[in-house]
Structures are given as structure tokens and as C-alpha cells.
Amino acid sequence: MDKNFYITTPIYYPSAKPHMGHAYSSIIADFFARFKKIDDYNVHFLTGTDEHGLKIQRSAEKQGIDPLEFCNQISETFRDLSKTLNLTNTDFIRTTEKRHKKTVQHLWNVLEKNDDIYLSKYSGWYSVSDEAFYNDDEIEDVEGDKIAISSKSKVEWIEEESYFFRLSKWGKPLLDYYQSHPDFIAPESRKNEVISFVKSGLKDLSVSRKSFSWGIKVPNNKDHVIYVWLDALTNYLSALNYPNSNDQLFKNFWPASIHLIGKDILRFHAVYWPAFLLAAKIELPLKVYGHGWILSGEEKMSKSKGNILDPIEIINQYGLDPLRYYLIKEVSFGNDGNISQERLEDCINSDLANNYGNLCQRVTAFAIKNCESKIPNKVKFQKEDIEILDKYKNNLDNIRDKIDNQNINFYIDYIINSLFEANKYFNDQEPWKKKDDLLRLNTIVFTTLEIVRKISFLLYPIIPNSSLKALKIFNLGESDINFSSIGNNEFLIKDSKINKIDILFKKIEKNND
RNA sequence: GGCGGGGUAGCUCAGUUGGUUAGAGCGCAGGACUCAUAAGCCUGAGGUCAGUGGUUCGAUCCCACUUCCCGCUACCA
């Protein structure tokens, strides 16, 4: 049976240019996608842009252009980001596409038919400047005016006709589902937040708007557009051509293996989305993972603090792979993480240049000088060689298991430890002192080359370009990379040529003042 | 306010279902080597595991209180 894996990023809201948070979600998703790919899964990796809503409509109006044209431009910057980040996404969906509209309207009809959507009135204290509604306890009287306590802006009582989704009806089924599927929401700490939120009681959800027009029309009521979440979340299905359940994409990839998202939109993915799906009698995704935020120093990045680290600028300055490596290694996955140039530079120098890059270099240089630039042919493993080589084979299932539990930190720690171990092995074996024992020298070189190959395979999901560069030593390409083959201790073809490669990572010169 | 998570080496973080000397990486100091991007290897310094009190033969880990930080507490996404 084929193994299928469907991973999604959030679809990004293109009201501003891409920032580090977008890059982070995408890079992590790409890590999983690439890992599953080399572990022989069929992978469907979806990302895209969420293009409807008042903000987009207004931004377009400001520029005096059609909203779709506006979206075309900005969506393109997100497509570019995917390329810049070297993502292996197999699709890029836009909520303004026909295929998406079709799916959303179909889903709407199903929900309406099942009596999960009804027409009523939405009312509340609305602040035009905040574009937000407030509850009674969030406003106060100041000299006869009602104002929002948090923003001090004026609010007015608004009543608007709106369709509602009967979210209230799904509280109990959701709680049951969480209980019977303990892995549905991750990480654990945030799962508790979701559960306590649902336990506190769910109100029906407004799912349409009359106040603006930039969106998907409600079927049979042109005055309304379908409001955000019912529109946006459905992208995960529309990309698989739902409702065509005979479609091969849908058959293979639904239910999704994992929706990877930021913690800020966890509720929508862990409450609204499964509620919609339950109501429509569609299977639920297997997992929703809400990762943390990337902070700059101690603080959340914001324009006013001037501490924004633009992923594009970082990439231009340091390269893509160092950023990917940093975000995957230095962030304790699930928690918030920090990024600073200083720490990024430390990471590049010690891990990538000194540890991995230098290992590749020292073994190849040694082999070129002492083994006629070939993978040694005559090789006889000793205990210490087999011991270090077999560790990889013995950990294959362990690593798979950790990946399935999103334990990214284990994965990268495993690699780093392997690098230390490899450098130590080469040191301890002292092949440069074995020039009168060529069998031993060859065996040490072969073993170390095998380890470099294994580690480079392991690094492929994290730093694909650099991994591929390193594998040029052995004339190996992307299609040769396979996770199971890490268990093979004689994968390299003996007597084949070893290529000298350029330095993988240049060290960053640091000022010592 | 309510509910939840957390305060562990200079820095970033693991960890302990309570049990002799608390871990890693980076940074720092010293040493032996020389194949390599002056990289790698070895050794070391450095912590009252937020504070106080309690349970226990024994607590960094359990309980209570104090203090500080953070998250959630419904329709911006």
C-alpha cells in the first residue's frame, strides 16, 4: 500500500509583505515534507494565500486597483517566498481561484442543508476605526459617548443581518473527539487551552458579512459574502478537489496528516474547522500543530520596536540554509523562539562550518591525497567501525517515530551528536598515522565517508542545498537520497571517484572589540 | 479576576515517575595532536535547579505560600 502524507501551512493573508513567521511555518512544513519524501511517502504539501476580506478590499481601493489585481500582485510575493525558501510544495492555492470558490460554496450548501447554518442578526458595539466588535464589558461611558476600553475609540451599536453556523451544537462532539483522539491537537499545553475554551461553552459563529463585498458570495443570497474562516479553512479541501471524492488527490490525501499553523490561529483550526467538518460529515485531519512565534531578542517583532528581522534580508546576507538550520535547531519546537544575528552567526560558525562543513572537507581532502581520489575498495571493518555505522540503522524507526511526534529537536540533536561522534572517530582512528597500513587507512576513510553520506541524507530535510552540495563528493543527487538507505553501511560505490567540493559554509568573521 | 504554563551554568535550553558527584550546545581557560575552513579531539572553571515553609530517611523534582514572566479567557487574521 502506498504511504501518503498531506501537510499544509496556513494560507497567508497578503495584506503585508512576508515576515519571519511566514517563513518559519513554511520552513518547518518543508522539513516534514522532505523527510517524508525521502522516507518513500507520496507527499502533498500545500501552501497559499487567503485573499478575501475587508482589509484587502480597502488596500486595493487605496491603490485604486481592482482587489483581484491587488491580490495577484501580493500573492506573487508569497509564491516568490516559497521559491526563496526552497519549498517543495506541490501546490499553491489562492482563495480567489475558481476551484476554491466551488468547494466553499458546496460546503456552504451542505452545512445549510444539514441545518447547521441559519440566517439571523449580528449585533454589538462596533468600532469603525478598530474594525472590531466589543462586548458590553469591554466598553465604557465617557461624557455620553461609548468607547472601547482597550483602544479608546468610539463604538456604535450595530445590527447586521448575518448567517450563523451552529457552533454551539458541536461543543460536546468536539470534546468527545479530543478525548478519543489525544494527538489531534499539539502541542499538549495548547491542547489544554483549546479544551478549556470549548468547555466554557461555544456560541454560534457568524459566517457571513453584508458590510463588504470582497469575498465568496453566499449561494442564493448575493447580499452576503462568506466570512473568513469558513472560506479560508476550506482551502485544505479545495486543493484536493473536494467535493469530488473520486478524485485521486482527495482519495490519497484526505484526511490531512497535519495542519501546521502558528499558535495564534490554533482555535480556528482546532475548534471551528473540525466543527465544520463534523457538521459536513467529512473526516477530520489527523493533527493540528500550533507552533510558537519567532521573537527578535526577547520581544515580539513589530514595526514600532524596529526589531523586525526580514527573512529575505537574512537570506540575502547569510544564505537560505543557515536560516533554515537556525530556525529548526535553535527553536524548541512548539515554544516561542528567538532569533538574532549574533546567535545565527554563532550557529553558522560552530555547527555548519566547523562541525559539518569541516568534516566533509577534512575527509575528502584526506581521501583525495591518500586514496587516489576514490572511494576505497579494500575495506575490512573492525568493531569500532561497525559500532559507529550501525547506530544509524538501529535508530531508523526511532527517528521515524520522533518525526511522527513532531520531535524536531530530537532529530537535529541526533544529527549534531552524530557529527561530534564522526569527528571524534576520525580523530581517534588517526588515519594520517596509518600510511603503512593501507587496509586500515582505507577502512577508516570509507567508514567516515559513509557517515558523511548518512548525515548528509539526514540533513537534507533541513538544509537541502548544502546537503546536495556535500553529496556531490560522491556524485549523488537528489533522487539518490533515501532515508532507509541510511541503514546501509556499504551504500557508497567502491572505486568510484571522489570529487573535491567547495567549502560548504564560510565562517563569519566576527569583530572582537 | 478565572484557568493554564513557566522561573535550572555568562547565553540558549534539556532533565529528574523524589535517591549517591544536576546535563548539552555555545562562550571562556588549559593541554596533546596536525588529516581539515587556526577546524577537530581531550581536560577544566562556572549553578544555594526564583524565595520561604512543609511532607519524607532523603526534594531541583511532591504540597502550601510569596514573587516575577508568559499563554488562553470567541468572530483583525
Q: How far apart are CA A225 and CA A383, in angstroms?
A: 70
Residues in chain A: 513
Q: Phi-psi category of A201—alpha, beta or left, where left has phi over 0 and alpha has psi -120 to 50?
A: left
Q: Gap from A57 CA to B21 C1', in Å?
A: 66
* CA A85 to each of CA A78, A79, A139, A458, A500: distance values in angstroms, whole numbers, following the listed order: 10, 10, 44, 19, 27
Which pLDDT belongs to residue A334?
84
User: From the CB of residue A37, how many other CB atoms can be counted at a distance below 10 Å?
Assistant: 21
Nucleotide of closest approach to A135 (CA, C1')? B74
Q: Which residue is closest, via its CA, to the C1' of B26?
A: A346
**E-assigned strands of A35-155?**
42-49, 91-94, 117-127, 132-134, 139-142, 145-148
Q: How far apart are CA A442 and CA A447, in angstroms?
A: 8
**Using CB atoms within 10 A of its CB, is residue A216 exposed (0-12), middle (13-18) or buried (19+)?**
buried
**Using CB atoms within 10 A of its CB, is residue A427 exposed (0-12), middle (13-18) or buried (19+)?**
exposed
- A136, three cell numbers: 458590553
pLDDT at A150 over 80: no
Q: Quick one: DSSP state of residue A87?
A: -
Model confidence over A259-317: pLDDT tens digits? Answer: 999 988 999 999 999 999 999 999 999 999 998 888 775 444 444 444 457 889 999 99
Model confidence over A431-462: pLDDT tens digits? Answer: 999 999 999 999 999 999 999 999 999 999 99
Q: Which residue is closest, via its CA, to the C1' of B37?
A: A358
Q: Quick one: DSSP state of residue A350?
A: I
Q: Gap from A418 CA to B14 C1', in Å?
A: 18
Nucleotide of closest approach to A209 (CA, C1')? B75
User: From the CB of residue A142, how many other CB atoms can be counted at a distance below 10 Å?
Assistant: 11
Q: Gap from A241 CA to B77 C1', in Å?
A: 25
- A37, three cell numbers: 519524501
Residue ranges of domains in chain A: 340-487
Nucleotide of closest approach to A419 (CA, C1')? B40
Q: Name the CA radius of gyration of chain A, rounded.
A: 27
Q: Quick one: DSSP state of residue A348?
A: I
Nucleotide of closest approach to A12 (CA, C1')? B77
**Residue owning grid cell 458595539:** A125
Q: How far apart are CA A393 and CA A316, in angstroms?
A: 37
pLDDT at A165 over 70: yes
SS3 of residue A512 by DSSP = coil
Q: Quick one: DSSP state of residue A278?
A: H
Q: How far apart are CA A407 and CA A32, in angstroms?
A: 11
Q: Gap from A457 CA to B19 C1', in Å?
A: 42
Q: Gap from A346 CA to B46 C1', in Å?
A: 21
Q: Give, as ranges, the nucleotides of chain B with any atom within 7 Å of a protein CB.
A: 3-5, 11-14, 25-27, 33-37, 39-42, 71-77
**What CATH number was assigned to the domain covering residues A340-487?**
1.10.730.10
Comparing A8-22, A121-135, A179-193, A421-435, the range with the smallest average pLDDT is A121-135
Residue A331, CB half-sphere, CA atoms under 13 Å: how many? 28
**Using CB atoms within 10 A of its CB, is residue A220 exposed (0-12), middle (13-18) or buried (19+)?**
exposed
Which pLDDT belongs to residue A465?
97
A400 and A39 Cβ atoms separated by less than 8 Å = yes
Nucleotide of closest approach to A193 (CA, C1')? B72
Q: Percentage of residues in chain A with pLDDT exceeding 70?
A: 93
Q: Gap from A323 CA to B6 C1', in Å?
A: 28
Which pLDDT belongs to residue A1?
55
Whether the full predicted model's pTM is greater than 0.95, yes or no, is: no
Which pLDDT belongs to residue A308?
57
Q: Percentage of residues in chain A with pLDDT exceeding 90?
A: 69
Q: Gap from A482 CA to B46 C1', in Å?
A: 43
Q: Gap from A430 CA to B9 C1', in Å?
A: 34
Count of helices and strands (H, E) across chain A: 19, 17
A290 and A190 Cβ atoms separated by less than 8 Å = yes
Which pLDDT belongs to residue A512?
44
* CA A498 to each of CA A181, A223, A354, A363, A448: distance values in angstroms, whole numbers, following the listed order: 50, 68, 21, 10, 13
Mean pLDDT over A200-225 rounds to 91
pLDDT at A513 over 50: no
